[in-house]
Amino acid sequence: MAKTLDFLLGKRANDPCGRYSDHRLLFEGLEREEPEAIRCLYSKVSGMIYQLGKNAKLGEEDIEELICDCITIGLQKIRSGKFVFQAYAQATFIIGIAKNRVQNFRRQMIRHHTEELDPTIEQLEEEEYGAMEWVEVLEKVLAQLDPNCQKLIQLKYLDGRRDKDVIAEKHTQYTTVDALKNHRSRCLKKLTELAMAFKQKQD
């Protein structure tokens, strides 16, 4: 299906939505998996999904794959009857799929870059939040730190930047990796305290 979708999207018309003047016509075209309907949907969602991918630091190829994957998932849900016609645009449904996938990517990215995090924070993620809204929780407590700490943690754990690149590109005032790590360690200690306080408020 993905290869077929790539082929169909490769043949982009000047006005792919010309035959689909309303949401119902487009939905019916997608039900029949008409190439024009798929191209129309692509034209409606690709810009928004591209921006979502860029915000999540995805590469160009990954973003294009994300767009195709989301459209493919949408078509599969239509075919299986899990997604039926609604008054709102089909693009809204596809973008919702994209937001979920990008959020999952961000969670995975954070987990991949948390080797320095205090075990207390990792325990909170596993026991209290799991795969639910840990990214949102982390962002809430992160916002309570001073701007410098926010930036240090953002660069390392959300953007996945290497310390030596942060130094070389002068993203912070620190001139050595050791100095950067030492200050970030203090920031992480404060983050742990804030995470524990957040948990106590939720209890």
Express each pLDDT in 144-179 by its tens digit: 889 999 888 888 876 778 899 899 988 899 999 999
Per-residue pLDDT of 91-107, as tens digits, reads 888 888 888 888 777 66
Average pLDDT over the chain reads 77
Q: What is the mean pLDDT of residues 57-66?
A: 86
Whether the pLDDT of residue 1 is over 90: the answer is: no
Give the pLDDT confidence score for residue 153 in this predicted structure. Answer: 83
- How would residue 11 be classed by pLDDT, with cut points 50, 70 and 90? very low
Instruction: Report how far residue 100's alpha carbon sits from residue 187's, in angstroms, rounded to the nearest whole number.
Output: 29
- Residue 172 region, left (φ>0) first, then alpha (ψ -120 to 50), else beta? beta
pTM of the model: 0.51
CATH numbers and ranges of domains, the chain: 2-102 (no CATH), 113-202 (1.10.10)
Give the pLDDT confidence score for residue 4 in this predicted structure. Answer: 45
Whether the pLDDT of residue 180 is over 50: the answer is: yes
Structure token digits, residue 163: 């310390």
Instruction: Report how far residue 76's alpha carbon sits from residue 44's, in angstroms, rounded to the nearest whole number.
Output: 18
Q: What is the mean pLDDT of residues 15-31?
A: 84
Question: Could you tell me the CA-to-CA distances from 12 to 26, 41, 72, 129, 182 in Å, in that order?
Answer: 16, 11, 17, 43, 53
Per-residue pLDDT of 109-141, as tens digits, reads 655 555 455 554 554 444 444 444 556 667 778
Structure token digits, residue 129: 């939040």
Cα atoms in the Cβ-side hemisphere of radius 13 Å centred on 183: 19
Read off the DSSP letter of residue 57. Answer: T
Instruction: Identify the residue with better confidence: 113 or 20.
Output: 20
